[in-house]
A and B are shown apart, each in its own frame.
Chain A
Amino acid sequence: AQTVTQSQPEMSVQEAETVTLSCTYDTSESNYYLFWYKQPPSRQMILVIRQEAYKQQNATENRFSVNFQKAAKSFSLKISDSQLGDTAMYFCAFMKPWGNQGGKLIFGQGTELSVKP
């Protein structure tokens, strides 16, 4: 069974600075997807960034980037130039590929990020 662990329940960062959120996972699969989702107080999960395990290049979306270390089963999220609107709960998630009972997401317990002015 796959598991996802986020060891930082809470983090804070000053506006405009950089912060890194950690995530580790466990799986015996060789191909899979990893995600970071943001959940603001409105409760709606918003996809931040996606990484395909067979791609060695780390994914980047504007101010968000990941450090994907497949051998170490580590998947951290770096937020650059933090903004007040980044304040939210962040979840790391794992997904097996489609066609193999895939599609369902396995989430970590979340990291609550506060961006301070």
Chain B
Amino acid sequence: GAGVSQSPRYKVAKRGQDVALRCDPISGHVSLFWYQQALGQGPEFLTYFQNEAQLDKSGLPSDRFFAERPEGSVSTLKIQRTQQEDSAVYLCASSLASGTGGDAFFGQGTRLTVV
């Protein structure tokens, strides 16, 4: 596609519900990142994939958060048993493997509201 696509754009979940957020990276981009952006804050790193391999998941806040990229393209961020503190915008970014810095292209994010 022309850019990074995320769906849904908005998601309202009841506390305790499981949610799945989707990211379609730019075609051919090897690297994929997930970030969490709380209201009024800068994005914070969650996890990183190179192709289908999850090389860094140090930013995942709890074991309720799980990400996958099984075929090295589309990625899904899953949050189990959502809590109010999970309310945030979830941003996905992709980049070419060569990564000379700043090649990351961001999607428009999914705004998750947990009620």
B40 / chain A contacts, CB cutoff of 8 Å: 109-110
Given A104-B48, A107-B44: A35 and B108 within 8 A (CB)?
A: no
For the complex, give the distance between the alpha carbons of A115 and B9 in Å: 27
- The reply on A47 being an interface residue by CB < 8 A is yes
Given A42-B108, A45-B106: A52 and B101 within 8 A (CB)?
A: yes
- The reply on B41 being an interface residue by CB < 8 A is yes
Binds B, one of A12-20, A63-71, A78-86, A91-99: A91-99
Known: A95-B102, A104-B45, A105-B104. 19 other contacts (CB 8 A): A4-B42, A44-B106, A45-B43, A47-B102, A50-B101, A91-B42, A93-B42, A98-B101, A102-B99, A103-B48, A103-B95, A103-B104, A105-B33, A105-B35, A107-B42, A109-B40, A109-B41, A110-B40, A110-B42
* A→B interface (CB under 8 Å): 4, 33, 35, 42-47, 50, 52, 91, 93, 95, 97-98, 101-110
